[in-house]
Structures are given as C-alpha cells and as structure tokens.
Chains A and B, each alone.
Chain A
Amino acid sequence: KAGVTQTPRYLIKTRGQQVTLSCSPISGHRSVSWYQQTPGQGLQFLFEYFSETQRNKGNFPGRFSGRQFSNSRSEMNVSTLELGDSALYLCASSTDPGYTEAFFGQGTRLTVV
C-alpha cells in the first residue's frame, strides 16, 4: 500500500514569490492535514481538509491557503513568500477526521532566499 506522497521534495524560492505544494494521501484516506515544522517551533498545524472542505485552520496568515480535490489529493499554496516561511512542510492523511491515527509524508523542504 503506497504511503503519503508529497511533491516536490525540495524547493528554493525567492522572497515575494508564491509556491504550491502537493500531497497525495494513502488510498482510501479522505482527511488531509498540513503542518509546518521548524527547529524552533516544532510542528505547527496549518489546516485540515476532509471531503474537499476545510474543517480546521491553524493560526497562520491568509498567505497560507489550501484545497482538496475530489480524489482527496490536496494542495497548499503560500503567496508572497517571506524568509520565515523556510521550513519543512508536512502532510498527514487519515481515514477520517477523527484524528485517531495520522500518517505523514516525507515532507517538502522549502527554502526562501
């Protein structure tokens, strides 16, 4: 059974640009969550989608947005990139939004220069 797939694995962007990250959940999983991981802050919750609807949103500015498609694949977008957005962005999938178990992808490492 394939795991959670995130693309791309690595990205380098310039301040002010925008970026789109992709996440394909485990087959049959309909809930996708996004997290930002930095050495100082740990895992910070961005948002969660279930059946194409955003259920929860963390405390991030509006520059961070996401969506989910009918096949449960999800994308997150960050506009007007700032240096502080450099982080590992992780996607986690679970069967439902009950948050009983979540399986993570390998992450996308974003560097903003």
Chain B
Amino acid sequence: QKEVEQDPGPLSVPEGAIVSLNCTYSNSAFQYFMWYRQYSRKGPELLMYTYSSGNKEDGRFTAQVDKSSKYISLFIRDSQPSDSATYLCAMSTGNQFYFGTGTSLTVIP
C-alpha cells in the first residue's frame, strides 16, 4: 500500500464549478499537509500548507484535513480556466515528504 493515495483523474469541470480534490494516507505520523499546483513543464508551486485538522482558507482555495479519517481535501471555488493544472498533495512526518501522484484538472471555459 502506498503511503499516499491520490486519484489521478483526469478531472474536467465547467468554469465556475466547485472542484474537490482528495488524498488518503495510511501513516498516522504525518503531521504536515500541503497542496501543490503544477502547470505543464513547470515545477510544483506551493498552494496551501497546514499542520492540523480542520479547514484553512486562502481566497478561492480551502484545504481540509481530517486526521481521524486520514483524508485531506482541496476545494477550489469558482474554478477558472487558469486553474487547469495537476494538483499534488504532499505530507510530511517532519523527516521526509511523501507525494501523491497528482490529479490532472481541466476547467473548461
């Protein structure tokens, strides 16, 4: 079983839709949770970072962590074509990062 599981998609939504991206994990030692956005042929860009259960909001993006269920989510409100990218979840024990394989998202105008 992989440390971090992420549905690769692809996910295609109309502009303005609410997008939900999810990852599950098996290691209860994970303390830090991150979401990265990666455009084609670019490096991953840190979007959200949290270290506790609950929600964290930044503009149109909300990161949610449920440690009891070992489940994290990223919600994108009012999705835009510029949100089309691959989204990677990442987790850390404080000693090493573990990445999901990424979910490819396309927002259709």
Bound CA span A103–B44, Å: 8
Q: What's the minimum C-beta distance from A78 to chain B, rounded to whole angstroms?
A: 19
Classify chain A: how many residues form its interface, as a range: 20 to 34
Q: Which of A41, A42, A102 contacts B97 (CB 8 A)?
A: A102
Task: Judge whether B100 and A101 touch: CB under 8 Å.
Answer: no
Q: Is B60 an interface residue (CB 8 A)?
A: no
Contact of A103 among B32, B46, B99 (CB under 8 A): B46
CB within 8 Å of B: which A37-55 residues: 41-43, 45, 48
Q: Distance (Å) between the CB of A25 and the closest chain B CB?
A: 13
Residue from the list B41, B90, B96, B100 in contact with A56, Cβ < 8 A: B96
With A and B bound together, what is the CA distance between A61 and B95 in angstroms? 21
Interface contact B43-A105, CB-CB below 8 Å: yes
Seed contacts A48-B96, A101-B49, A102-B97; 10 additional CB < 8 Å A-B pairs = A6-B43, A42-B100, A43-B44, A90-B44, A98-B92, A99-B97, A100-B94, A102-B46, A104-B36, A106-B43
User: Which residues in B have their C-beta under 8 angstroms from that of A41?
Assistant: 101
Chain A residues with Cβ under 8 A from B93's Cβ?
Answer: 99
